[in-house]
Amino acid sequence: MQSSAFLRIGSRGSNLALVQARLVQRLLSEAHGLPLDAIEIRTITTSGDRLTDAPLSTAGGKGLFSKEIEAALEAGEVDIGVHSSKDMATRLPDGLVLAAFLEREDIRDAFVSLSVKTLDELPQGARLGTSSLRRASQILRARPDLEIVPFRGNVDTRLRKLTDGVADATLLAVAGLNRLGRASDITDYLDPERFLPAPAQGAIGLEIRADDSRSFELIAPLNHQQTATAVHGERALLDALDGSCRTAIGVVSHIAEKTLMLRGEILSPDGRISIEARHAGPAAAPEAVGHELGQILRDKAGSDFLKLFPG
């Protein structure tokens, strides 16, 4: 039966994804003077939700969290896909675009432990749970004595694994914990200038069909331009480096007046090699700034560096 909804949102079914989808639903209802139930949220199970144990780097990468939502967009079953932007594939399917971004949340990673207060307080040889290659590489650079153990699953699952003793600590995005009202679970905040966040971390992205002018106009009031500028630059860096879940890439953005400054790094899986560079350019052309920084990092790393990564 054809839906009579004014607008249809596609979202994953995790607690965090639904919190994000409901935020978009509320903002759209306020922007257009609509009752909440005029904007439908359709829950879509993605491949990433079904693969709860295998590391993303071996299971197919970030697109696992979006491809079923994107298929629903392409089929006209939903009008908007709501995503955690850092989970999006570097290149979107033809005909789809990330057309708006909500104002960015905290970009930092949270250190969470039931036994110690900081990363530095973890005892020699302690186990840190993460399935993020970036986080693992950065932690091993700072603490090469630690053992990295695989840690997939949603926020509740990962926190439960700590309680069950699977690891002594883990890292989670501060933004997600804040949105879930679980900031009290954070033991410490990692310095984003020391532990560069994932590209687009903390930003909710709205994906639509490129030719859908109606949806574009409806979501336009929700777009936060500084966030959009930063995320487009960071995703362009990923693209220039062929970035995926198989590559340890961190980046932090700063926008001052009309200039975008990106600081990026790539790390070997064991954290022993890290290559960093900075690049600035017009905020009006963030993709160019990101691509240029990616090329700078490639040149500094040399042709053999990315061969260190699996996949």
Strand 188-189 versus strand 109-113 pairing type: antiparallel
Q: Are strands 7-11 and 39-43 parallel, antiparallel or unpaired?
A: parallel
* Residue 149, amino acid: V
* Residue 87 bears catalytic tag: yes
Give 49-102 as a 3 state SS string.
HHCCCCCHHHHCCHHHHCHHHHHHHHCCCCCEEEEEHHHCCCCCCCCEEEEEEC
What is the DSSP-derived secondary structure letter of residue 229? Answer: H
Active-site hit among 79, 87, 109, 212:
87
Beta partners for residue 111, in sequence order? 171, 188
Residue count of the chain, please give it. 311
Residue 242: count of CB within 10 angstroms of its CB? 15
* CB-CB neighbours of 293 under 10 Å: 27
HSE at residue 179, side-chain half, CA atoms within 13 A, is 27
Active site positions, annotated = 87
